[in-house]
Structure 1
Amino acid sequence: MMKILILGAVGQIARMLTNELLHKTDHSIVLFARNGRKRLNIVDDRRVLIVDGDFKDKDKLVHAMEDVDLVYINDMGNENSTKTIIDAMKDAGVKRVIAASVLGIYDEVPGAFGEWNKRMIGETPRMRSQVESARMLENSDLNYTLLRLTWLYNQAGNTKYMITQKDEPFKGAQVTRQAVTQCVMDIIGEQSDKYHRVSLGISEPDTDWAKPSFY
């Protein structure tokens, strides 16, 4: 049994992950979010602790990481927040982290979809923050799994996902949040070091298109 900290716990994938952990594991969960107590409704308070806090508050993060085995970061769109999280993990003595990023941080998306993706997000400040956040995580001594997510949508029951490695061209124009949640659950459940210190592209099989179906 583990103790898992979910940072950015009000996000859609974070909420799905919380639900899956509660229903399919015996792990205890710490949910960290701004105004989390107001925004989150938790039925099993024996296994769940809610911490109100900001990613930039290192002391609050360190407190939330007490006795934690694994941290899940739901968003790395602010490099200052990412640095604070990494520093807090060092201070708290926590090594294992799964972090959600986006496709394109290595310019690894080829073809028409790669060009479309660059037009949509390639030069945005948020994308630059994602690039810098990933660089900081990979240069740390943390035991990280970085997830480069393609374009997200919701479809109940669709948990199909495929993985591309860092040195491979990214494939797949879309993936469900349900599938990303399943991927995180699979990584949490993996007892080997298969997913340690790796950057994985996450997409839906058979969606190697010029853009997502919902655009």
Structure 2
Amino acid sequence: MKILILGAAGQISRLVTRKLLNETNHSLVLFARNGAKRLTISDAGREEIIDGDFTDSNMVKKALEGIDAVYLNDVNSLTGVKTVVEAMESSNVKTLIAASILGIYDEVPGAFGKWNERMVGRAGIQHQRQAADIIENSSLDYTILRLTWLYNQTGNEAYQVTQKGEPFEGAQVTREAVARLIFDITQDPAGYAKTSLGVSEPNTNWAKPSFY
């Protein structure tokens, strides 16, 4: 399998890259602004860096050549999301994993839901919902990851998921766990197709994350 990572310089993307290199024989295309300066190749036979902006349709289409699956680390740019979706559709690349945030379906109950909305802001949540709508209205076999509040803890890869339409559970999750989930999806993309998953750490149903 050949995987394109858009936003490859991000923390989660770097963890995903390392995990895929260590635990599979997949090839990776690492796409990032100033990627040559920000990224280092550890396996020249399996990695390629592309300097680019994923709002640039021609660059994205070129990066998609020979690609089987795409991980999009950032959906903040609606133009970028639309560009990626349209480029994938025209290139007949179907598998998209995209990282978003919790709360876009008003699915977070109780005190934590109120805290989250206060911290993120209604406008920010609605913006992320628009990005999700673009993806969900596409022909792609997408998996949207609605991530709760992130922190780092080496070795902690515990995650749980909730489906769209279910109440969101969990106030925090490690970036390492998110990387593990993304890895798991790449091993069985069909099993996760057309889903929007709430992602959190088990047993963290609190009013706010432990680090706040």
TM-score (norm 1): 0.96
* Cα distance in 1 between the residues matched to 2:209 and 2:131: 25
Report the more deviating stretch, 91-100 or 165-174: 91-100
Deviates more, 1:173-182 or 1:43-52: 43-52
| Distance across 1 between alignment mates of 2:46 and 2:193 | 26
User: In structure 1, what is the equivalent of residue 200 of structure 2?
Assistant: 203
Structure 1 residue runs of 4+, over 4 Å off?
A: none
Q: More deviation in 82-91 or 170-179?
A: 82-91
CA–CA distance in structure 1, aligned partners of residues 208 and 66 of structure 2: 43
Q: How does 1:62-141 map to 2 (within 5 A)?
A: 62-124=61-123, 126-141=124-139
Deviations 1:106-163 (A, max 9, x none): 0100000000001011324x43321111001000010001100000000000000001
Encode CA deviations 1:42-76: one digit per residue, 9 max, x unaligned. 11111001000001100000000001000000011
- When normalised by structure 2's length, the TM-score is 0.98
Structure 2 runs not aligned, ≥5 long: none
Tell me which residue corresponds to 1:10. Answer: 9
Whether the aligned pair in 1 keeps the contact of 2:153 and 2:174 (CA below 8 Å) is yes
* Deviation larger for 182-191 or 66-75: 182-191
CA contact (8 A) 1:8 1:33 kept: yes
CA RMSD of aligned residues (A): 0.9
For residues 193 and 90 of structure 2, what CA distance do their matches in structure 1 show?
21
Contact 2:41–2:48 (8 Å) recurs in 1: no
Which whole-Å CA distance do the structure 2 matches of 1:199 and 1:43 have between them? 32
On the 8 A contact 2:170/2:204 being kept in 1, the answer is yes
**How many Å separate the matches in 1 of 2:183 and 2:85?**
22
2:169 to 168, 171, 188: 171
1:181 pairs, out of 156, 179, 182, with 179
Distance 2:125 2:39 in 1: 28
For residues 41-80 of structure 1, the aligned pairs below 5 Å read 41-80=40-79
The 2-side partners of 1:122 and 1:108 are apart by: 15
> By how many angstroms is 1:194 displaced?
2.1
Separation in structure 1 between the aligned mates of residue 63 and residue 127 of structure 2, nearest angstrom: 24
Rounded Cα–Cα distance in structure 2 between residues aligned with 1:109 and 1:97: 24
Identical aligned residues as a percent: 58
